[in-house]
């Protein structure tokens, strides 16, 4: 099923360039509004955004689109993606929208859509909305045009929800936590939730100005968090990304813990409590060391293609309650319908508090197999279809046969070819990745 605009996580691109224009946002609002107008009730859409300067423009355009086809709009303001998903269901909305480009720089933006059940849309639903973009909008009669309303307590509703996932018998008293909110959507809610649970909170990345989202901060740039944790003598550090659907943890020594280690910890804790349902679902990017650790513990691991939506689809298909990605998208189906960085961090904090041990002794659950990922930006064409690139990939697979894995894929959100290899021989892994990257660069 080919989609023109929707990628692995909604529509995303450079702001004021196709497809990320105000005109497109208007059309998406009209098309999605008609697609989800079912039944004779008053239809409602919930819209949240991160802190990008272009969020105001995209929000206004979406409001115009939805109201023009008769949908009422509830505006949440800056809120994490998982909060939008949660509030879509709690407010009985027909559709939820998050305006964000996640971990991308401020000059990008995106539109993520959620159905009335709080889940991201299927490929088929996105394709149906795309097909409507080419059709004249089904405009409402003047008396049926939608209304827009901004609610002030959305922040508190989400903080309450996040706190409810933390065990009642535990508190964060005595724990010093540095939280990096990436100057993004969680800049209020994450520090508030941690403080209300008793922690001493040192917030960084909480001064958004429209252009500093993810700029030298957050889960993709954790250096400032590492320095702050060590300098302040904190017990642990938490880094979220721009829309707070992913998380990276730093221990008291400033060492980074990625999503694979966090998923291992959470799955093993769930298993210990008898709460783990089925397998751990992750993607082809997850480290072989994670798979080995889970196998030793008697836990199955199922891989999907890259994208948290595909992880979630497999989780729902198999009835699993823990899944995610190495990047820090962690889905806990007992609490959320999508990745939630704050909720995942609270489960990690619960394990640390419960153990009575330093974070460094709790977070590292397995020895990672040497893994290297590099990105090659291309200007156009199809470098992976070039004979020279295909031959180099075939040679690399032969070299790694029985000793590791090779994964080559095109990014679903950026013009990048991602080259990943892993194996017990780190020198071999590095050489293979460099050779393939060079071949791709020459072919692009």
**Residues designated catalytic:** 102
Q: Report helix, strand or coil for 361.
A: helix
Residues in the chain: 444
Contact 244, 219 (CB under 8 A): no
**DSSP state, 307?**
S
Return the bridge partners of 240, or none.
247
CA atoms within 13 A on the CB side of 34: 20
Question: Which is it for strands 148-150 and 44-49: parallel, antiparallel or unpaired?
Answer: unpaired
Distance of CA 37 to the CA centre of its chain: 28
For the chain, the helix, strand and coil percentages under 3-state DSSP, each to the nearest 5? 40, 20, 40
d(CA 256, CA 427): 22
Number of C-beta neighbours around residue 291 at 10 A: 20
d(CA 252, CA 231): 10
The DSSP annotation for 368-429 comes to PPPEEEEEEE--SS-GGGSHHHHHHHHHHHHHHTTTEEEEEEE-SSSSEEEEEEEES-HHHH
d(CA 432, CA 396): 6
Question: Which is it for strands 236-240 and 176-180: parallel, antiparallel or unpaired?
Answer: parallel
Return the bridge partners of 257, or none.
249
């Amino acid at each position: 099923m080919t989609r023109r605009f929707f990628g692995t996580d909604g529509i995303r691109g450079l702001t004021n360039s196709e497809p990320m224009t105000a005109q497109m946002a208007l059309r998406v609002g009209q098309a999605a509004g008609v697609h989800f107008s079912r039944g004779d009730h008053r239809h409602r859409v919930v819209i949240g955004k991160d802190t990008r300067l272009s969020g105001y423009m995209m929000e206004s355009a979406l409001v115009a689109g939805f109201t023009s086809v008769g949908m009422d709009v509830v505006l949440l303001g800056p809120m994490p993606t998982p909060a939008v998903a949660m509030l879509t269901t709690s407010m009985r909305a027909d559709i939820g929208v998050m305006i964000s480009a996640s971990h991308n720089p401020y000059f990008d933006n995106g539109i993520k859509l959620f159905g009335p059940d709080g889940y991201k849309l299927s490929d088929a639903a996105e394709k149906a909305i795309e097909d409507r973009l080419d059709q004249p909008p089904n405009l409402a009669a003047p008396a049926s045009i939608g209304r827009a309303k901004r609610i002030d307590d959305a922040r508190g509703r989400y903080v309450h929800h996040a706190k409810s996932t933390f065990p009642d018998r535990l508190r964060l008293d005595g724990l010093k936590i540095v939280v990096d909110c990436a100057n993004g959507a969680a800049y209020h809610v994450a520090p508030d939730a941690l403080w209300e649970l008793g922690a001493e909170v040192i917030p960084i990345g909480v001064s958004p100005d429209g252009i500093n989202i993810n700029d030298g901060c957050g889960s993709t740039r954790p250096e400032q968090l590492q320095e702050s944790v060590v300098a302040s003598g904190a017990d642990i550090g938490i880094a979220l990304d721009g829309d707070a659907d992913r998380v990276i943890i730093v221990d008291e020594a400033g060492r980074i813990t990625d999503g694979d280690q966090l998923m291992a910890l959470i799955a093993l804790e769930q298993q210990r409590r008898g709460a783990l349902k089925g397998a751990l679902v992750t993607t082809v990017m997850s480290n072989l060391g994670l798979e080995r650790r889970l196998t030793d513990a008697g836990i199955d691991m199922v891989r999907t293609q890259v994208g948290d939506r595909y992880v979630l689809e497999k989780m729902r298909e198999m009835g699993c309650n823990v899944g995610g990605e190495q990047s820090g998208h962690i889905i806990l189906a007992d609490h959320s319908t999508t990745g939630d960085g704050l909720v995942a961090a609270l489960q990690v904090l619960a394990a640390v508090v419960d153990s009575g041990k330093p974070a460094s002794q709790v977070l590292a659950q397995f020895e990672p197999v040497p893994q290297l990922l590099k990105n090659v930006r291309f200007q156009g064409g199809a470098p992976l279809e070039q004979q020279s690139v295909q031959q180099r990939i075939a040679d690399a697979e032969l070299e790694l046969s029985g000793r590791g894995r090779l994964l080559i894929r095109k990014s679903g959100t950026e013009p990048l070819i991602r080259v990943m290899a892993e194996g017990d021989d780190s020198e071999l892994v590095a050489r293979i990745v460099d050779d393939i990257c060079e071949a791709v660069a020459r072919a692009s």
